């Protein structure tokens, strides 16, 4: 039982346990879903919530809560609400996460579409149209004009998008701190299989073009490395010593003279 600091227990609502139980039984599907009375909480002046154990299958740790009140100078209580609430040990659903935030690399399958918002901070207009804010229709017009004038991509990666990509690649398996890179004797910046990138990220990353390497076709940091470096050579083995000329024993047992 818990009592609020500013409210005193009201004996009428506190003692109306059976009234609360009767209201609860009218609301549930089966009387077997209602267990023992667990206590009450004083919510305010002449306002009390009674708790009952929930015995419904699949709802371990949940409890029924029935809130009662009464008007001043009245002896009859009124049922405010009947709800089912989770307790500390109850199994509850995880917090809702929007679908767009739940998508992870590798989740897309053929035919899936993943729309990109018009105000995605990673992208900026390929050509500047000023700092004036544009609504959705105006942004669509800008993209249409770019396509009609053959100006290439309507949007391209901006500074924020480049920084996010660079950090993601640097911290990933193709970065300089991965176990594969730490065990390598040479780095990708001196490998003949590295294909250089163009643009702002060219000084930090390239693409591996070695079909025998783990990172083939992937972006790698110039400080990354692996055992399939173009200049890896096997250590030369020592030439074996020449074998002596064979000796053929052509003596028969009877040819040996005794001394």
CA–CA distance, 244 with 39 (Å, rounded to integer): 102
CA–CA distance, 163 with 169 (Å, rounded to integer): 10
Q: What number is the average pLDDT over the span 7-16?
A: 84
Decide which of 145 and 151 is more confident.
145
Output the average pLDDT for the chain.
Answer: 83
Enter the pTM of the model.
Answer: 0.50
Query: Read out DSSP for 83-104?
Result: EEEE-TT---PPPP--HHHH--
CA–CA distance, 85 with 32 (Å, rounded to integer): 17
Phi and psi at residue 82, to the nearest 5°: -130, 120
Contact between 3 and 42 under an 8 Å Cβ cutoff? The reply is yes
List, for residues 63-82, the tens digit of each pLDDT value.
Answer: 999 999 998 888 889 999 99
Looking at residue 129, what is its pLDDT?
45
What are the structural domains of the chain? 2-86 (3.10.450), 117-157 (no CATH), 165-221 (no CATH)
């Amino acid at each position: 039982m818990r009592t609020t600091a500013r409210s005193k227990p009201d004996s009428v609502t506190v003692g109306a346990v059976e009234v609360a139980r009767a209201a609860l039984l009218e609301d549930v599907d089966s009387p077997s879903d209602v267990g023992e009375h667990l206590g009450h909480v004083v919510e305010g002046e002449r306002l009390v919530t009674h708790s009952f154990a929930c015995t419904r299958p699949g709802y371990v740790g949940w409890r029924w809560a029935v809130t009662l009140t009464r008007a001043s100078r009245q002896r009859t209580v009124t049922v405010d609400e009947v709800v089912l609430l989770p307790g500390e040990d109850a199994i509850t659903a995880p917090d809702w996460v929007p679908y767009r935030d739940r998508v992870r690399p590798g989740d897309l399958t053929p035919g899936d579409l993943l729309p990109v918002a018009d105000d995605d901070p990673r992208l900026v207009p390929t050509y500047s149209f000023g700092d004036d804010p544009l609504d959705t229709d105006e942004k669509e017009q800008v993209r249409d004009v770019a396509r009609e004038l053959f100006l290439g991509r309507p949007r391209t990666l901006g500074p924020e998008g480049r920084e996010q990509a660079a950090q993601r690649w640097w911290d990933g398996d193709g970065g300089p701190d991965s176990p594969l890179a730490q065990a390598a004797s040479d780095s990708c910046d001196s490998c003949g299989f590295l294909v250089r990138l163009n643009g702002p990220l060219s000084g930090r990353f390239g693409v591996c073009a070695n079909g025998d390497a783990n990172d083939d076709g992937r972006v790698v940091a110039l400080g990354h490395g692996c055992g399939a470096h173009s200049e890896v050579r096997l250590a030369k083995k020592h030439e074996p010593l020449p074998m002596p000329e064979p000796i053929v024993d052509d003596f028969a047992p009877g040819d040996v003279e005794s001394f």
